[in-house]
Structure 1
């Protein structure tokens, strides 16, 4: 009798545990974009605080319901004809990335920084993978159609999650000058498996925000520069090494000793500047398209 009761309790416990696990899987599937994106609405600073000339930019993008929502960004004109379209990571907003933009501007780039919908002053609801890709395309259209900048003058730069956005846009815009990714990852699945808490969940079944950089690389047709801090504790540097080995386009990899996830450009300093200049030489070997008049 006692054995029968214990078995009954055991089966009940297993059933309750399985039900709880299943509910957690469903919850992760439904809210995973809220686990990935960490937007901030408050702009902590502006380019003016770094003594940079700039203008506020508003870019319309149509949502899935047909309504026009506006992206907010900063256009920081530079001294050369090269333009850099900057995509920030999953946290904060464009104001958190001004240090990087300043260093890139010092290399002569004109820089367009945008906030995805749901970040900073940009309109719209909480972002998803599909929506940030649409935001990136809208920013590209703004540069090429409204400002009349030739595709081969535009470099795409992405930090962390922004690297996935830059790679996706580079595949859809194969005439861009090149793509630079800073401390980015192979895929969201690999990032989930890197986090101990998510290793017990069936990522292949419940993941709907995939950001699969590794699979997309086979479609890339423009030069690729990969940057990664060796002390990055959020995204392992080995992921950039895997991306580098998988890419079949002209490519460079810079691993920066002592740099973490958010301070690579500051730590790399002149070494970063040198590598970017070398990368520009590679990109300039491509034929240029005329400016749109």
Structure 2
């Protein structure tokens, strides 16, 4: 089958053949290569500084409202004067927390194909999660994990999953933590989502009744960022089964996302923002494996497996910065990466284009 050339940026590197068999590895070494953070958030009865200041601020406000005669006292003047900067500090702190560490859960587009099979598994922190499998109609030992983007759901990418399943590939996916019908809105972090993705992969053999021989991971937007991390930090049964990854309009930098999420002029306070982010991440993840400055390419990881990138030519959501950073580190002879830009394709997975579907189909045919 001839592959049309329009929109192709690059096809470099040689296709890597799967290894003849799994090699024995030290268990500790495998654990060290895992992609996320796994220790539970410590429970402490000692209130932190933001909580104490919030309580003090509220008590002052209640006292001034409940006892009007205090408003004329010098003490009230001093308290109000000192409370203004404290109030501003708390506003900024909680604004950052709500913008980064919680999800809106405003989209719950459900999957509609009755062939999906629902199952439970344990994600980050041994928390109960719900996954779905769309089994192949053929006898197949191939598997693809689909990871949707931020503020999205598995339902948005269902047509993509159905298209790939029609090639004889089993599909596994989930509403990611904090989105769709999945729990986990508070203390949300990318590292938790990555741990959930590892967990659903570990649960796949039991649900399928066999260990897949070949695995692909398809990530859209933020799901693409997670896919890059997983593919460059493989573990478990799929360490030797991962055959390649597909990235659709992927995120390539967490700091760039933070800059986009912060409201108004808060972007100008980057040092303070980084302080809050570091404080919260260290609180949530005592075994934090990455830092703010290293949560982007190339430090995030450069996969050593074949890669297909299908990028919206005019990405109205991410702009060009993420794609340019990806090109900087993927567009070379050391990375086996095929890159295509798709005309008139928006960022959202709600909309699809035949050109994207064809690129995915041709690439998967070559991989199999």
Q: TM-score range by the shorter chain?
A: 0.7 to 0.9
Label 1:29 to 1:193 Cα distance change in 2 as closer, same or farther (>3 A).
closer
Unmatched tracts of structure 1, length 5 or more? 1-14, 285-293
Post-superposition Cα deviations, 1:240-263, rounded to whole Å, max 9, x if no partner, equal 232133034200111111111114
Larger radius of gyration: 2
In the other structure, the counterpart of 1:179 is 245
Label 1:20 to 1:251 Cα distance change in 2 as closer, same or farther (>3 A).
farther
- In the alignment, the residues of structure 2 paired with residue 263 and residue 92 of structure 1 have an alpha-carbon distance, to the nearest angstrom, of 8
- In the alignment, the residues of structure 2 paired with residue 117 and residue 25 of structure 1 have an alpha-carbon distance, to the nearest angstrom, of 25
Label 1:58 to 1:218 Cα distance change in 2 as closer, same or farther (>3 A).
closer
Aligned length: 260
Residue of structure 2 aligned with 1:224, choices 307, 320, 333: 307
In the other structure, the counterpart of 2:57 is none
Deviation at 1:219, TM superposition (A): 4.1
In the other structure, the counterpart of 2:268 is 200
TM-score (norm 2): 0.60
Residue of structure 2 aligned with 1:33, choices 100, 117, 137: 100
Residue of structure 1 aligned with 2:346, choices 253, 257, 260: 260
Label 1:17 to 1:229 Cα distance change in 2 as closer, same or farther (>3 A).
farther
Query: Higher strand share goes to which structure?
Result: 1
Unmatched tracts of structure 2, length 5 or more? 1-81, 282-291
- In the alignment, the residues of structure 2 paired with residue 179 and residue 77 of structure 1 have an alpha-carbon distance, to the nearest angstrom, of 19
TM-score (norm 1): 0.74
Deviation at 1:234, TM superposition (A): 0.9
1:71 corresponds to 2:130: yes
Alignment check: 8 A CA contact 2:229 2:300 kept: no
- In the alignment, the residues of structure 2 paired with residue 69 and residue 263 of structure 1 have an alpha-carbon distance, to the nearest angstrom, of 27
- In the alignment, the residues of structure 2 paired with residue 41 and residue 265 of structure 1 have an alpha-carbon distance, to the nearest angstrom, of 15
- In the alignment, the residues of structure 2 paired with residue 24 and residue 68 of structure 1 have an alpha-carbon distance, to the nearest angstrom, of 31
Secondary structure class of the residue paired with 1:111: strand
Alignment check: 8 A CA contact 2:110 2:155 kept: yes
Larger RCO: 1 or 2 (CA < 8 Å, sep 6+)? 2
Alignment check: 8 A CA contact 1:85 1:156 kept: yes
1:280 corresponds to 2:339: no
- In the alignment, the residues of structure 2 paired with residue 111 and residue 239 of structure 1 have an alpha-carbon distance, to the nearest angstrom, of 27
- In the alignment, the residues of structure 2 paired with residue 192 and residue 117 of structure 1 have an alpha-carbon distance, to the nearest angstrom, of 19
- In the alignment, the residues of structure 2 paired with residue 81 and residue 121 of structure 1 have an alpha-carbon distance, to the nearest angstrom, of 29
Secondary structure class of the residue paired with 1:236: coil
Alignment check: 8 A CA contact 1:229 1:237 kept: no
In the other structure, the counterpart of 2:29 is none
Alignment check: 8 A CA contact 2:111 2:155 kept: yes
Q: RMSD of the alignment, in Å?
A: 3.2
What are the residue-to-residue correspondences of 1:12-51 with 2, within 5 Å? Answer: 22-34=89-101, 37-40=103-106, 42-48=108-114
What are the residue-to-residue correspondences of 1:148-167 with 2, within 5 Å? Answer: 148-150=210-212, 153-167=214-228
Post-superposition Cα deviations, 1:221-245, rounded to whole Å, max 9, x if no partner, equal 2122222212321111442232133
